[in-house]
Amino acid sequence: MREAMLYEQLDDDKVRCNLCARRCVIPKGSVGFCRVRKNIDGKLYPLNYAKACSAIVDPIGKKPLSHFHPGALVMSIATVGCNFRCQFCLDGNDMIPVIRDGEFSFAHARELDTFFGDKCDLADLSRMEIYTMNHTGPKRILYISRRRHDGSVLEIVTERGRSVKLTEDHKVPIVDEHGRLLEKRATEINVGDKLIVFSARLDAV
């Protein structure tokens, strides 16, 4: 096992991980929010070191090297571990991993509309064997809900090609030109604002 980089040792055998913006303080014997950086006897170790779980060729525009060889492709390698806890708030075009009748596939979120009755915004799937995937593995779907949004849905695209779709009132953390952290409604975000993402740098909108 290899000792981690980007951490500091604290009192009482605790460590502070500095790999992402969460900066977890991890007691001895515990793991951080990502579940793959563990405090072993007062030192931090990455449990996923040299254990790639996927590899894909991406456009270089998605990377911090967005102005290096524009239009080129770059190899991306990923390991397990995540510092997000998504709650599956999706629009109809989003693809989700689904296990139905023991078969794994990807489905558009809109396909789940078939489970709703007329004028019903909550569907009971507890009698069915349908699963989706999250950071800990397969999870059985018990209920799904839907909400019609009559306003606009905005798409924010950053300089590295990352994008997110939001309703107008959704609040987003932004860093202004003075380095101050602010919250803006999606409709108040301007081109050039700095959007906080979980990476080594800020992304411009």
- Would you give the DSSP letter of residue 11? G
- Which pTM was predicted? 0.45
Taking residues 47-54, report their average pLDDT.
86
Q: Rounded distance, CA 1 to CA 32, Å?
A: 17
Low-confidence winner among 52-61, 70-79, 89-98, 124-133 (lowest mean pLDDT):
89-98
- Specify the length of the chain in residues: 205
- Give just the sign of the alpha carbon dihedral 186, 188, 192, 195: negative
Angular region, 37: left φ>0, alpha ψ -120 to 50, beta rest? beta
Q: Rounded distance, CA 137 to CA 35, Å?
A: 13
Residue 87 · residue 202 · CB < 8 Å: no
- Would you give the DSSP letter of residue 63? S
Backbone angles phi, psi at 62, to 5 degrees: -80, -10
Q: Rounded distance, CA 127 to CA 201, Å?
A: 45
Q: For the segment 159-182, what is each residue's pLDDT rounded down to a tens digit?
A: 877 777 888 888 887 887 777 778
What's the token pair of residue 164?
A: 């997110």
User: How would residue 85 be classed by pLDDT, with cut points 50, 70 and 90?
Assistant: low
**Hey, is 39 helix, strand or coil?**
strand
Instruction: Assess whether pLDDT exceeds 90 at residue 7.
Output: yes
Instruction: Assess whether pLDDT exceeds 50 at residue 200.
Output: no
- The pLDDT mean for the chain works out to 81
